[in-house]
A and B are shown apart, each in its own frame.
Chain A
Amino acid sequence: MLDFIKRMQLQKLLALGALIILYLFFAYFGRNFVSVPTTLSILSRSYFVGFLAIGVTFVIITGGIDLSIGTVMMCSALIGGLLFTVFGFPLWLCLIIMILVGTAFGTANGLLVTKLGLPPFIATLGMMMVSMGLGSILTNVRAQNFPTLLGENAWFVRLFLRTEGNIPTGAFFLAGYLILTFIILKMTKLGRYTYAIGSNEEAVRLSGVNASRWKMITYMISGTSAGIASIFFAAAYTVMTPGTGQGFELDAIAAAVIGGTSLSGGVGSVTGTIIGVFIMSTLAVGLVSIGLRAPYQVFFTGVVVIGAVFLDIQRTRRANRVKK
């Protein structure tokens, strides 16, 4: 049993080790890497991916996938920006609506997967296009702006990104969400069923549990997380462009995989996912600090993802061998 737990944790430990090695590497070779602005830069690009990745981790653990989160996040942000700038809604109300838009898309995904029995890959691929299209339709393909640290409503950035005094306020929210989701996964019935469905959905069903209902909830968590992510994306990037958002879901899924969540389901953790998120953002910022251009980030993130999946497969094979 001890051995089993060790193996479960192995990839997470490896990921943490890789993060530390990466950080030390860039601290030594990078220009001005250990500094407040660099740290803020790493953090500010981690927040929204962090929320997306935590959400999608739930779905991946059940053995599913959610490809819609990137564009759902952008759709939420576009709707929020539209209500704020064009319709003059108070900002706090817009933020709540942004989260609810995410929940609505998550619910729709869940219904497609559980009630209509569509494969998650196809259902959420469709929803990716639906949400991207909806964002463009509602905004009439116009970019939507959010407040900055300089003008009115600066509290928005101060609360969700950083203060003028460089306190990374967004980090507190992400840490809070991490703790909340950690507790849900490890200590509640929802968490236990999430893992159980991913390990053997049929067994869960046969033991009299309404598996569909719990699966549905994981898609709602994923959508809601995308809605929350949209707030942090808007705080960091101000201008929301219709027709974008594709690709963020892959960053989030890659982060989960790097952190040891298995795409075949049943295995994974939100702490590992967050480590994955920081590996990717540290890599991105670090490569620039040693003087390499943006395409290298994509290249090396790809290398890391392949390495992580390879480890995952090795582990699964070993586990199967043990079973035999």
Chain B
Amino acid sequence: MKKTIAIIIVLVLSLGLLAACGDNNDRDGLYIAVLSKGFQHQFWQAVDAGAQAAGEHYGVEVFFDGPESEADIHVQVDMFNQQLALNPDGIALAALSTQAVLTQLQDAYDKGIPVVGFDSGVPEAPAGQIRATASTNNQNAAALGADHMFPVIRDKIEAATEADPVVIVVLSQDVTSESITGRTRGFAEKMHQLASGVNSSVAITGGYPAINTGDAGAAVRIEVVVGATSSSVDMATAASGALTLPGLIGFFCSNEGAANGVISAINAGSVVPAGVPIVGFDAGESQKAAVRSGIFMGGITQDPFQIGYQAVSLVVRAIRGETIGDVDTGAQWWDSTNMDNPDIALLLYD
């Protein structure tokens, strides 16, 4: 009996400790709940850091939480319920499933709690229930890749003729997802614009009919290559095919899957023609190694810190009654010269 009492006392004491570190009895300032899609990836840690920074800037309390895996829809629903119960002043949400939180969104709406989307936001939410979304504009971000690749291949583009054409490949894993199509379009159109400045015969061709400008005989072709499926095997096959295109002078991968396709192809024996810069979107472990070893020229990463920061500041502005609109949280160029800088390294999530 003595022991059981001892155990209970220990339990109660440990809870007491929790309360001490919980530090939550100040109810003066605003309280904002940020519910992410995950927690364990560096990406989300950076979103958290941004959200906390914004919280400090505005002097509001920010509580950040997310399920352990993106399959844990029910965990996020529970979190949403629990946060609603705390009567927060505002909520930022990256929904795993909009369908699963429809009731909660309606509740928040009825209670007058503003909800802001971030990262991929809350697609297909009922009109008016999401005040605004803070996320990466994929088109602008991919255009950044074209900006960086162009100076390297400018001379080759200028020298290209219809008799001796050059080709810049954009490798994409599908033609449906919003982020991939946005990036493909963003890079291809920006490169088209830049190349047109130094060569009169430029065309976009290949797997994205919507952006094709025709003319497969142009001196400079920006060729969109799409894998048969998004599986790593098919992406590697597509990459090894694209690497053998005659006149290849530049290579852009629109996501980590495409970049890994190129890396797998090289591992399997494909050869990158000398002096061809490869740029990848995202920043996985193997992509980082490829940049470090010089196989890749560099990459573009989303800015999760800004995603978190902007999400919280949107919520604060919504609470203050300001009119808010969607925010592009921007993207960063990274290569071997800056990838170890602390502020960039933070963004190179795995």
Contact = CB atoms under 8 A, between A and B. Distances in A.
B228 interface: no
B23 interface: yes
Contacts of A237: 73-74, 77, 100
Contacts of A296: 18
A294 B102 contact: no
B72 A310 contact: no
Interface of A: 10, 14, 17-18, 21-22, 25, 29-32, 35, 37-38, 40-41, 44-45, 143, 145, 148-151, 157, 233, 236-239, 241, 243-244, 284-285, 287-296, 300, 303-304, 307, 310-311, 314
B200 interface: no
A17 B12 CA distance: 12
A38 B85 contact: yes
Contact of A314 (B3, B68, B78, B79): B3
Given A31-B27, A150-B103, A307-B7, A288 B14 contact: no
Given A38-B85, A314-B3, A290 B11 contact: no
A292 to B, nearest CB: 6
A132 to B, nearest CB: 12
Contacts of B99: 145, 148, 238-239
B75 interface: yes
Interface string B54-87: 0000000001111110011111011101111111
Interface residues of B, number: 44
Contacts of A143: 73, 97
A151 B100 CA distance: 12
Contacts of B103: 148-150, 157, 238
A239 B4 CA distance: 42
A290 B19 contact: yes
5 contacts: A21-B8, A40-B85, A238-B103, A284-B78, A296-B18
A296 B68 CA distance: 12
B293 interface: no
B78 A148 contact: no
Given A41-B84, A244-B74, 7 more contacts: A25-B15, A37-B84, A45-B78, A239-B73, A284-B78, A289-B24, A289-B82
Contacts of B332: none
Given A150-B106, A241-B71, A37 B85 contact: yes
Contact of A244 (B72, B81, B97, B102): B72
B82 A14 contact: no
Given A143-B97, A238-B99, A314-B3, A307 B86 contact: no
Nearest to A293: B65
Contacts of A293: 39, 63-65
Contacts of A295: 68
Given A239-B99, A239-B100, A294-B65, A285 B82 contact: yes
Nearest to A151: B102
Nearest to A14: B4
